[in-house]
Structure 1
Amino acid sequence: MENLSTRDKKHLWHPLTQHKLNKRQLAIIKAKDALLYDEDEKEYIDGIASWYTVMYGHCNEYIVAAMTKQMNKLDFVMFSGLTHEPAIELSEKLMELLPNNQAKIFFNDNGSTAIEAAIKMALQYYHNHGEKRDTLIAFDDGFHGDTFGAMSASGLSSYNGPFEDFLLKVERIPTPQKDNIDEVKNRLALVLQENKCAGFIFEPLVQGAAGMKFHSAKGLDALVDLCHDNDVLCIADEVMTGFGKTGKNFASDYLKNKPDIICLSKALTAGMFPLSITSCSQAVYDRFLSDEVHKGFFHAHTFSAHPLGCAAAIAGIELLNSPEILERRTYIESAHVSYATIIKTHKNVSQTRVLGVILAIDLNVKMERYGNLRDKLYDFFIESGVLLRPLGNTIYVLPPYVITTAQLQKIYDTITAALETI
C-alpha cells in the first residue's frame, strides 16, 4: 500500500499551493490537544491551532461528546421555514458574549461567506431605503476571504491579482497607529465625502494574513465613530480575532463605538465543523422588515445553522471562559511577553509584538510571501516537530489554549534555532 502522501498526489488539489514546485503534503493521521501525528507516528506541536480554529485542542472530549449527543438526536434539517434548539441556544449564548448592540444572528458556513453576507447586508440596507451606495471602505493589506465580495474587501494582491478587474468598488485607508490617527481620519473623511459608502469593513486590532499586524484601538474607535456620524455601517471581521485570542472575548470589546455587523467563524466551532455567523444590530435587521417580500434578505446556504456545528459552538463557548481555559490564556500571554522580550534583541529580528495569545516576530530580512526563505523556515519547523507558517517576513505563534508549558517552550526554542539559520 502506498503511503498517504503518495496517494494524495494522484487526485488532490491543495489550497495556497503551487503543485509544480511543492514536494509533498505532510499526511496527518490523528491529533490530540496541541499535537498532530503523521503516518510515521512523528508528532508535531500545532503552534497556530490549525489556522486559529482548534483553540480548545484537537479532539476535545467535551466538544466531541456534545456533537455525538446531537448527532444521535437531530443530524441535519434545513433552516428555511424550520428551526431547532441548537441554533436557538447558540444564539442565546452568543448574545451573552457579543457587544450589547448586537441583536440578530444569521448563519453561514465559513469565514468568507460570513463576510459575503455582511457585505450584502450593508448594500441592501441602503437599497431597501431607496439609496444606491456602491462603495466599501477597507484597510490597506486587509484580508477577509476568497469569495468575490470578501476578496474585493481584501487588499493582498498575492491572493487577488487575477481577479482585480471583477471586484466590487473599495476605497482603502491606512491602519491607524499611535502617530497617524489624525491623518487616517482625514483620509477617511475624504473617502466619505467623495463616495457613496455603504460599509467600512475591518479586522479589529489585528490584521491576520498581513502578518499579524496590530493597529490602535483608539484610532479604530475614532474611525468607527466617524463612519457612524456619516450613516455608514461598520463591519468587524472577527473570524480570526474572535473567542479570546486578543485577551478579550472579541477584539471589538476594546472599542467604545461598536460595529453594526460582526462576522464569526474559525474558533466558533473550535475547528470541529464548518460554520459561521454574521450578527447584526436591531437597526440593521429592522431595515429588512417590510410588506414587500423582496426587501427580505434572500441569501442562504444549504448547511446554515447545522445542528452539529451549533452543538460544537455551544460546547466551545462553555469552555471559553472556564477557569482552566482562562488560566491557560493568561499563562500563554505572559509566556509570549517574556519570550518576545528576550528574542527582540536577536540580530535577525526587527520587531516583536504580543496581544492575548498572539505572538508575532518580524524578521529584518526580505522574504517573499511564498518564497525560498519562507519555505526554508517552514521546513525547519516541520523537521523540528513544530507546525508554524510564516506570513511574509513574520513568524507568528497562536497556539491552542490547552498547549502545555513544555510544548510552548519547544516552540520558542525552535524559533530561536531557526533564526540562526537565516
Structure 2
Amino acid sequence: MLVLAGGHRGQILLSRRLQAELAREMTYTAARFGHVMFPENVYEPALKCAELLIDGVGKGWASRVYFSDNGSTAIEIALKMAFRKFCVDHETLLEFSEGRDEKKHITIKVLALRGSYHGDTLGAMEAQAPSPYTGFLQQPWYTGKGLFLDPPTDILFNGAWNLSLPEFFAEIAPEEYGTFSTRDEIFDKSRDTSTLATTYLAYVSKQLQEYSGNTQSAHVGALIIEPVIHGAGGMHMVDPLFQRVLVNECRNRKIPVIFDEVFTGFWRLGVETPAELLGCKPDIACYAKLMTGGMIPLAVTLATDALFDSFSGDPKLQALLHGHSYSAHAMGCATAAKAIEWFKDPETNHNIIPQGGILRELWDEELVQQISCHSAVQRVVVIGTLFALELKVDASNSRYASSYAKSLLQMLREDGIFMRPLGNVVYLMCGPCTSPEICRELLSKLYIRFGEFNRA
C-alpha cells in the first residue's frame, strides 16, 4: 500500500473531494436509516447498490447479489453456492431429502492455483494451496481441500514481456510462445488457437482426470481463481490464456466457476472487472475493497439465476443458510453506490476513457521499462492501478518473511512513500482517480532510491 505526501495539489483536492463525498453519503445514510434486518426486506441503498453491481461488474451474466461484510466471507458464501450447484448438476452424488443432506463418504474439493489467496477464514484458507498464510502457526487445522495447479505467469523483464512456465511445461520450446511486443498481446484471444492453448488444455484435462480417477469419493466441485493477478501471493500476473482454458474446461465438466475479484475488481486492473481482460464470465464472483472506495467494510457475492435456483425448494433447510446481522447495511450500500458511480463517470474520474469505460495508462512507460532493466530487479508487473516488482535475491531469501527490502522501504519513507512489502516483492497501488503525474513521481523516486539500495 502507499501514502503519498505533498505535490499535485489539484489531483489531491480531487481525491479529497471523493473522500468528502463518500463521508457525506455515509453520514446522511446513518441519519436516515437505523439497523435493518435484511432477510425478507429490501430498501433503497441495497437496491441501488445491487442494480449498479448487476449492470456493472455483473453485466451480461449475474442476476443475484448476496451481501456480506468482507472479502473472505464473500468467498465462503461463493464456495457454498458452487458446491450446491455442483451437487444439483450431478444429482447422483447427493440425495436431498429431509434429514439427509449428504452422503458422508463423498468429499467435494476445489480446483485452485498455487500462489492464489482467498482470505483468512477457515473455509477460504482450505481453498488455497499451502502458503505462509496456511502454516501450522496460522491454521493448525489446515489440510488444503483442493487440487492445486502451478500456473504460468507473465513478467516484464529487461524491457520485454515474457512467459514464465512451470517445470512441467519444460518440454515446450521457447519459440512456441516467445515474448510479447506489448502487454495487450498477452490478452489477445487469437492465442486461443495456439499450440500453447492445446498444451494447456491437455495438462488441465490430465490433472482433472487423474484426480477423479484416483478415488471415487473425491470430486472437484468448484474452480476458484483470482483473475489475472495473484495479489497477496506475490503480485504475479497469471497467463490469461491458461485461466481461460481452465474456465472453459470446467464449464465442459459442469464445474461452477468462481472469480475472486476482491482485490482485482473495480478498475484495479484498469477495467471495471478483470473478466473483461480474460474474455470469459464466471458463475459466481466476489467483490469488496474498492467497491466502497476503501471507506467502510462491505462485500458481495454475485451469482447467476441458475445458482439461485439450486437453493430453491420447499424445505427451509435447502435454502442458503448463511446470515449476517449487518447484511446489506445501509451505510455500506450507499457508500458503494456513490463510489461506483464516481469511478465510472468521466466527469468525476478524469482517468476514464469514455468510449471504452477503461482507465488510461497511469504508469509512465519509459520509467517502467527502465526499472524492468535495473540490475536489482527480477521482474515487473504493471497493469491498471498496480505496479509491482520483485527484487533479485537468492532462493533462501525470497519468501514472504524475507526482510531483504527493508532498507529500500526505509529510504522511500523519507520521500513520503509508505509501502507494505510481500517479502522481496514491493508494490505501489494508486486509486482509479489518481493522476498519471503522481504515478510518475512515485516511480521516479523508486528508481532513484534503487541506486542507494544497491550500494547499501
Task: Give the TM-score category using the shorter length.
Answer: 0.7 to 0.9
1:120 partner letter:
K
**Structure 2: which amino acid aligns with 1:416?**
Y
With over 3 angstroms needed to count, the CA separation of the structure-2 counterparts of 1:325 and 1:332, relative to structure 1, is farther
Per-residue CA deviations over 1:95-118 (Å, capped at 9, x if unaligned) read 111241111000110010011111
Does the alignment pair 1:113 with 2:73? yes
Q: 1:107 to 1:395 in 2, by over 3 A?
A: same
The aligned amino acid for 1:188 is V
Q: Deviations over 1:233-261 (max 9, x none)?
A: 11000001100111211001223431100
Secondary structure, aligned partner of 2:449: helix
Aligned to 2:206: 190
Determine if contact 1:35/1:58 at 8 Å carries over to the other structure.
no
- Within the candidate set 24, 28, 53, 1:94 is matched to 53
Residue 29 (structure 1) aligns with: none
**Partner Cα distance (1:384, 1:207) in 2:** 28
Report the TM-score when normalising by structure 2. Answer: 0.76
Q: Which residue of 1 aligns with 2:119?
A: 145
Quick check: 1:368–1:374 contact (8 Å CA) kept in 2?
Answer: no
Go from structure 1 to structure 2 and tell me whether the alpha carbon gap of 1:272 and 1:323 turns closer, same or farther (over 3 Å shift): same
Decide whether aligned partners of structure 1 residues 381 and 156 sit closer, same or farther in structure 2, where only a CA change above 3 A counts. Answer: farther
State the identity %: 28
CA contact (8 A) 1:173 1:184 kept: no
Counterpart AA for 1:394:
V
Deviation readout 1:169-203 (Å, 9 max, x if unpaired): 11101224565644443332234323311100000
| Contact 1:333/1:354 (<8 A) preserved | no
Q: Distance in 1 between matches of 2:16 and 2:304?
A: 32
Q: Structure 2 counterpart of 1:155, which letter? A: A
The answer to whether the 8 A contact 1:137-1:171 is kept is yes
Deviation at 1:370, TM superposition (A): 2.8
Write the distance in 1 (CA, Å) between the matches of 2:409 and 2:347. Answer: 31
User: In structure 2, what residue type is equivalent to 1:90?
Assistant: C
**Partner Cα separation in structure 2 for residue 57 and residue 152 of structure 1:** 39
Number of the residue aligned with 1:318: 341
**What one-letter code is carried by the residue in structure 2 that aligns with 1:125?**
K
Task: Give the equivalent residue in structure 2 for 1:373.
Answer: 404
Is the contact made by 2:270 and 2:360 (CA closer than 8 Å) also made in structure 1? no
Distance 1:99 1:369 in 2: 36
The Cα shift of 1:347 comes to 1.4
Q: In terms of mean alpha carbon deviation, does 375-384 or 91-100 score higher?
A: 375-384
**Is residue 2:111 matched to residue 1:157?**
no
Question: Following TM superposition, by how much is the alpha carbon of 1:293 offset from its aligned partner in structure 2, in angstroms?
Answer: 1.3
Q: Contact 2:367 / 2:444 at 8 angstroms: preserved in 1? A: no
In the other structure, the counterpart of 2:149 is: 173
Residue 11 (structure 1) aligns with: none
Query: Which stretches in structure 1 are left out of the alignment for 5+ residues?
Result: 1-33, 37-42, 46-54
Map 1:263-278 → 2, pairs under 5 A: 263-278=286-301
* Alignment partner of 1:294 out of 285, 304, 317: 317
Partner of 1:417: 448
- After superposition, residues 13-412 of structure 1 pair within 5 angstroms as 43=5, 60-97=19-56, 98-127=58-87, 129=91, 131=94, 132=106, 134-155=108-129, 157-162=131-136, 163=139, 165-177=141-153, 179=177, 181-193=197-209, 194-195=211-212, 196-324=219-347, 326-328=349-351, 333-366=361-394, 367-412=398-443
Counterparts in 2 of 1:313 and 1:110: CA distance versus 1, 3 Å: same
Shift of 1:164: 6.1
Q: Aligned equivalents of 1:372 and 1:272: distance in 2? A: 30
Q: 1:391 Cα shift? A: 2.0
Q: Distance in 2 between matches of 1:238 and 1:104?
A: 16
1:127–1:133 CA contact under 8 A, matched in 2: no
The letter of the residue matching 2:407 is K
Residues 283 and 60 (structure 1), Cα distance of their counterparts in 2 relative to 1, 3 Å cut: same
Give me the whole-angstrom Cα distance separating, in 1, the residues matched to 2:236 and 2:399.
Answer: 17
Question: 2:182 is matched with which residue?
Answer: none
Amino acid at match of 1:277: V
Q: Is the 8 A contact 1:336 1:357 kept in 2?
A: no
285-294 or 207-216: bigger deviation? 207-216
Say if 2:64 and 2:304, in contact at 8 Å, map to a contact too. Answer: yes
Query: Mean alpha-carbon deviation: is it higher for 311-320 or for 249-258?
Result: 249-258
Counterpart of 2:201, as a letter, is K
The question of whether the paired residues in 1 share the 8 Å contact of 2:404 and 2:424 is answered with: no
